[in-house]
Structures are given as structure tokens and as C-alpha cells.
Structure 1
Amino acid sequence: MDELSQVQHFIEESGWLGPALFVLLHLLRPLLFLPVILVCVAGGLLFGFVEGAILSFIGMTLMSFVSYVLIYRFPSFKDKLSKLKDKVLPDRQLSVGQIMVLRIMPFVHFHLLSFYLMEMTDTRKEYMFYSMIGVIAPAVIYTAFGGAIHELPWYGTAVLFMMLLIVYKVIGKMNDDKIDTIS
């Protein structure tokens, strides 16, 4: 029996513990320096597409809530994210749509995007609403296509990244046009 089969057998035999540990893995992911895509792909391999996507959605939603709590409870964490924001995208306002596209991109800092979303929203309820919407796409895409994306050659990954970058820019342009129209 290979390792994947052994893990799948453990998951099947563990009842509720397997899914609970997987959601916990999403919460521990930043401490373990694991990319979101890796955890979601593992969810698809271990639980199948539907259950893996649902569990990844739950895990990433809980991580969004944890981000909210961390940022408001620990000013030093908020300061670090603010400095990172100034380095990564200085003087740039992102739209909710752009944040959702960035959530799909592998290796984009999860907490930084949460920070952007917090600055755009007025309440925790509004933040969590947009956060939940924002993690649907990565949960589904990474779980369903994560294996394919992961198996792409470097140039395939580069093309996919460029396509997402173009979508990001188009959404930003549409947002800028909307702001110009309102002004």
C-alpha cells in the first residue's frame, strides 16, 4: 500500500477526526509555511472534489476570521502587514474583485489580502461576507484543478499566472473607470 492509500484509508476510518484535522491544517498552514494550493490539492486527493472543496472553504473562512482577530488584537501584526502592503502595492487601492482574483493566485500572502479587505469594509460582518465569497474560488479551483496546475511545466504556470494578472488589471481598470464616473 503506498503512502496516499494509507492516508486515504486513515481518513476513511477516522470518521469526523479526518475532516477536523484537515480544517485544523488550514489554520496551522501559515505557521507551517504551507501554500494554500498545497493544502487544497491535498483536500481534493484525500476527500474528493466536493468534500475537499467544502472543507477547504471552511478552513479558509476560519483562517479569514483568525486574520481579523489577529490584526485587531495585535497591533504589531497590523503594523507588519501595513508595511508589507506599502512594499507590495504602494498607494494602490484594490477592489473586492481584484482581491478575489489575487486569492486565486498561488503564493499570494493570505493575511495581506485579508488586511486589504478589512480596510475596505466597515464591520466584521461585512468583512466576513466578502471573505467567504473570496475563498470560494480558490477552494473550488485548487481542489479541482490544483493537481493539474501543480503538474504544469514552469511555462504553463507562467501562462496561467499571466492570464490571472491580465484579469486582475482588467478588473482594476473597470474599478478605476467606475470611480472616475462617480467623481
Structure 2
Amino acid sequence: MDEFLDSSLAFIEQSGWLAPLFFILLHVFRQVFFIPVLIVCLIGGYLFGTLYGSIYSIIGLTAVSIVFYGLVRIFPGLSKKLTNIKQHFFKDRQDWNLPQMMIIRMMPLVHFHVVSLYLIETSKNIREYTNKSFLVSIPPAILYTAFGDMIHELPLAGTIVFAVFLFILFMLVRRKHSSISWEEFFHTKKP
């Protein structure tokens, strides 16, 4: 992985005006080489600065999500495998809102495609899915590009404080009401 990352970085640096295109393609192909989103966004900040690196990362992350949408449609077994991981994280909850998904996407330990699978399941069509994927990709792209080096170099205590902060933020933006149907509320056991 290190050799691929080093050679990709050198190739992108020497690409001139095509560098943004190759960087976006690096986002798309990073999953084949098991390169975390954090690392690719860090590279974007290093090569292009915070503004352009964030823009290219948002485009790349949205492109990855669209490719994933196509792969799930072509290979339904992929969806089944990720559903097990998704159930581990989400516990069959289907009521997360978009700000919560943005926060979850920023958490480095949550698999990128688990969030994408959730967005597929809660979207009516590819257009709605693409819009949600675009919006959910903005916070991690900006955060990892601008502050990625700081997050990557944090000591364990700093990482724990950051994770607690994200959890508190996650709980603050959650929906504060739930609906219970009449039948569920007055459900009685049959003898």
C-alpha cells in the first residue's frame, strides 16, 4: 500500500493540469488498495491546499458513492455482506437524519460504504442518493483536508476527546421524537 501511495503521489504531482483528475480517480480506486479516506484527503490538502483539495475530495467521494451504487445493483451479494456490518453499527435503525449521517461519515472507524449502503436504502432513486452522498461527503472532505494532519497526529487522549465530541454532536442533532402506531401502542398478547 505504501509503495502504491508513494507512486500515486509522485504521479499526481508531476501531472500538471491533469493532477485534479488523477486525484479524483485516486479516490475512486483507493478502496481496491484499502487506502483510508483520511489518507487520500490528507494528500489532497498537501497537493492542492484546503480549498481545492476539499473540492476535489468532495467530487471524488461522490464519484466513489456513485460507483458503489452501481456495484450494489450489479452484485447484490456485496449488499448482503455490508448489511451485516451496517446492522452492527446502526442496529436496524432507519431514522437517522442527514446531519447525523454527515457526522457518522466523519468518523474514521465507520466503514465508508456502510454509510453509502444506508443512503441507498433510504433513497428513492439514484438522483436522491447522489444528492445525499454529495452532502454527506462535504464534512469529511473539508475536515480531513484542512485538519487531517492534526487528526492523524493526535495522541490517543486527543483521539478519545475528538470521538467523544463527535458522539455528543451526534446526539444533539438526532431526532427527538418517535412515532408509535396505534397497533404497536395497544398491542396485546393473544392467548
Match of 2:186 in 1: none
> Distance in 1 between the 2:35 and 2:123 partners?
28
1:23-42 alpha-carbon deviations (Å, 9 max, x no partner): 11111111111111111011
Q: Which residue of 1 aligns with 2:189?
A: none
Tell me the CA shift for residue 176 of structure 1: 4.0
How far apart are the structure 2 equivalents of 1:8 and 1:170?
42
Query: Matches of 2:163 and 2:125 in 1, distance apart?
Result: 32
Count of matched residue pairs:
174
3-state SS of 1:34 partner:
coil
8 Å contact kept, 1:27–1:63? yes
User: What is the alpha-carbon distance in structure 1 between the residues aligned to residue 89 and residue 48 of structure 2?
Assistant: 35
Is the helix fraction higher in 1 or 2? 1
Which entry has the higher C-alpha Rg, 1 or 2?
2
Identity score, percent: 41
Q: How does 1:167-178 map to 2 (within 5 A)?
A: 167-172=169-174, 175-177=175-177
The CA distance in 1 between the partners of 2:130 and 2:108, in whole Å, is: 21
Q: Which residue of 2 aligns with 1:89?
A: 90
CA distance in 2, matches of 1:50, 1:36: 17
Give the secondary-structure state (helix, strand or coil) at the position aligned to 1:31: helix
Aligned to 1:25: 26
- Consecutive aligned runs of 4 or more in structure 1 exceeding 3 Å deviation: 7-10, 179-183
Structure 1 gap segments, 5+ residues each? none
The more displaced of 93-102 and 74-83 is 93-102
**Greater shift in the superposed pair: 91-100 or 135-144:** 91-100
- The answer to whether the aligner puts 1:149 opposite 2:155 as a matched pair is no
Q: Which whole-Å CA distance do the structure 2 matches of 1:160 and 1:41 have between them?
A: 18
Greater CA deviation, 79-88 or 139-148?
Answer: 79-88
Q: Please report the TM-score for the alignment, with normalisation by the length of structure 1.
A: 0.86
Superposition deviation, residue 182 in structure 1: 11
Matched-pair contact (CA < 8 Å) for 1:100–1:135:
yes
* Residue identity opposite 1:106 in structure 2: P
Deviation at 1:16, TM superposition (A): 3.0
On the 8 A contact 1:96/1:117 being kept in 2, the answer is no
> Could you state the TM-score of these two structures normalised by the residue count of structure 2?
0.83
Structure 2's unaligned 5+ residue stretches are: 1-5, 183-191
Alignment of 1:8-157 (within 5 A): 11=13, 13-93=14-94, 94-157=96-159
Change (3 A) 1:36 1:181: same
